[in-house]
Amino acid sequence: MGEMLTTKEVAQFLNVNEKMVYTLIAEKGLPASKVTGKWLFPIALVRQWVETGTENYPEMAQLPPYHGLVLISGSNDLLLEKLIATFNLKHTEHLAMFGLNGSMGGLKALRMNLCHIAASHLVADNKDYNFPFIREEMLQVPAVVNLCRREQGLIVPKGNPQKIEQVKDIAAKKLVMVNRRLGTGTRQLLDRELKKAGVRGETIRGYENCMSRHMDVGLAVLSGKAHVGPGIRAVANQLGLDFVSLNWERFDLLISKERFFDQGIQLFLALLKGKVIQRTAEALGGYDLSMTGKMVYPETDQATEEE
DSSP bridge partners of 44 = none
Give long-range contacts, CB 8 A cutoff, 24+ apart: 11-20. Answer: 13/43, 13/46, 14/46, 14/50
Q: Do 244 and 161 belong together in one domain?
A: yes
Question: pLDDT at position 135, please?
Answer: 87
Lowest-confidence range among 30-44, 192-206, 259-273?
30-44
Each residue's pLDDT tens digit, 132-176: 999 888 878 999 999 999 999 999 999 999 999 999 999 999 999
For residue 221, being part of any structural domain is answered with yes
Ranges of H-type helices in the chain: 7-14, 18-28, 43-52, 78-90, 102-111, 131-137, 168-172, 185-196, 214-222, 233-239, 263-270, 275-284, 301-304
Mean pLDDT of 6-27: 89
Q: Do 162 and 118 belong together in one domain?
A: no
Q: Using only C-alpha atoms, what is the Rg of the chain?
A: 20
Confirm if 56 and 44 have CB atoms less than 8 A apart. Answer: no
Is the C-alpha dihedral spanning 180, 183, 185, 189 positive or negative? positive
Q: Do 12 and 42 belong together in one domain?
A: yes
Across 90-101, b (16+ Cβ under 10 Å) vs e yields ebeebebebebb
Boundary (domain end) residue, out of 218, 248, 278: 248
Q: Do 161 and 241 belong together in one domain?
A: yes
Highest mean pLDDT among 3-12, 41-50, 58-67, 240-249 belongs to 240-249
Confirm if 41 and 5 have CB atoms less than 8 A apart. Answer: yes
For residue 120, being part of any structural domain is answered with yes
The one-character DSSP state at 62 is P
Q: Do 129 and 274 belong together in one domain?
A: yes
Confirm if 187 and 212 have CB atoms less than 8 A apart. Answer: no
Q: Do 11 and 123 belong together in one domain?
A: no
For residue 164, being part of any structural domain is answered with yes
Query: Half-sphere exposure of residue 267, counting CA atoms within 13 Å on the CB side?
Result: 19
For residue 63, being part of any structural domain is answered with no
Question: pLDDT at position 59, please?
Answer: 54
Confirm if 154 and 246 have CB atoms less than 8 A apart. Answer: yes
What is the distance between the alpha carbons of residues 239 and 223, in angstroms, rounded to a whole number?
11
For residue 206, being part of any structural domain is answered with yes
What is the distance between the alpha carbons of residues 273 and 292, in angstroms, rounded to a whole number?
7
Q: Do 118 and 267 belong together in one domain?
A: yes
Each residue's pLDDT tens digit, 172-222: 999 999 999 988 999 999 999 999 999 999 999 999 999 999 999 999 999
Q: What is the mean pLDDT of the chain?
A: 90
Each residue's pLDDT tens digit, 67-87: 999 999 999 999 999 999 999
Number of other CB atoms surrounding residue 207 within 10 Å: 22
Which band of pLDDT confidence, cut at 50, 70 and 90, is reported for residue 299?
Answer: low
Question: pLDDT at position 305, please?
Answer: 42
C-alpha dist (Å) from residue 43 to 31, 54, 83: 9, 17, 35
For residue 59, being part of any structural domain is answered with no
| Structural domain that includes position 84 | 69-148+250-304
Q: Do 13 and 86 belong together in one domain?
A: no
For residue 180, being part of any structural domain is answered with yes
In terms of Cα–Cα distance, which of 126, 143, 108 is closest to 268? 143
Q: Do 169 and 238 belong together in one domain?
A: yes
Mean pLDDT of 272-293: 97
What is the distance between the alpha carbons of residues 215 and 65, in angstroms, rounded to a whole number?
35
Boundary (domain end) residue, out of 231, 248, 265: 248
Confirm if 246 and 153 have CB atoms less than 8 A apart. Answer: yes
For residue 57, being part of any structural domain is answered with no
Q: Read off the CATH number of the domain in which 285 is found.
A: 3.40.190.10
3-class SS of residue 245: strand
Q: Do 144 and 257 belong together in one domain?
A: yes
What is the distance between the alpha carbons of residues 19 and 122, in angstroms, rounded to a whole number?
28
pLDDT above 70 as % of the chain: 93
In terms of Cα–Cα distance, which of 173, 78, 188 is closest to 123? 188
In the chain, which ranges are E strands?
4-5, 33-35, 38-42, 69-74, 95-100, 117-120, 143-156, 179-180, 210-211, 229-232, 242-255, 287-288
Mean pLDDT of 282-298: 96
Q: Do 90 and 140 belong together in one domain?
A: yes
* Structural domains counted in the chain: 3
Q: Do 212 and 222 belong together in one domain?
A: yes
Each residue's pLDDT tens digit, 105-127: 999 999 999 999 999 999 887 78
